Amino acid sequence: MHSYTVITIEGQKCQFVINADTITIKSPGSPVAPITLEQMQSFAAPMKSRNPSLHYVFSRMGMTEEQGYGLTSLKKHAEKPGLPLPRYAMEGD
């Protein structure tokens, strides 16, 4: 198992935990309001960025997709070759 600390958000760290058959991303905070966990689990979350200014900068640099295509694109690209879809869960706060 490998664990990589990526960034810090208000004192809490995002982590990638990589095992032989799974990749788990642990990210602090709940989904951006008004997005609910249920919407994420059903891949029906509305378009919303946690940091629109940062998204804009990366978009202008050509380093990100257009906002809102993430879950739709992810589902389409996973289902086509028969890959498992991601699962979303909340633990603690």
Residue 68 is predicted with a pLDDT of 59
Q: What's the CA angle centered on 83, arms 34 and 69, to 5 degrees?
A: 35
Where is pLDDT greater, at 93 or 76? 76
Q: Collect all residues with Cβ–Cβ distance below 8 Å to 69 and sequence separation of at least 6.
A: none
pTM above 0.85, yes or no: no
Give the pLDDT band (50/70/90) at residue 3: low
pLDDT tens for residues 48-75?
A: 777 788 878 888 888 776 665 678 788 8
Give the pLDDT band (50/70/90) at residue 8: very low
Give the pLDDT band (50/70/90) at residue 19: very high
Strand order across the beta sheet in which 2-9 lies: 2-9, 12-18, 23-26
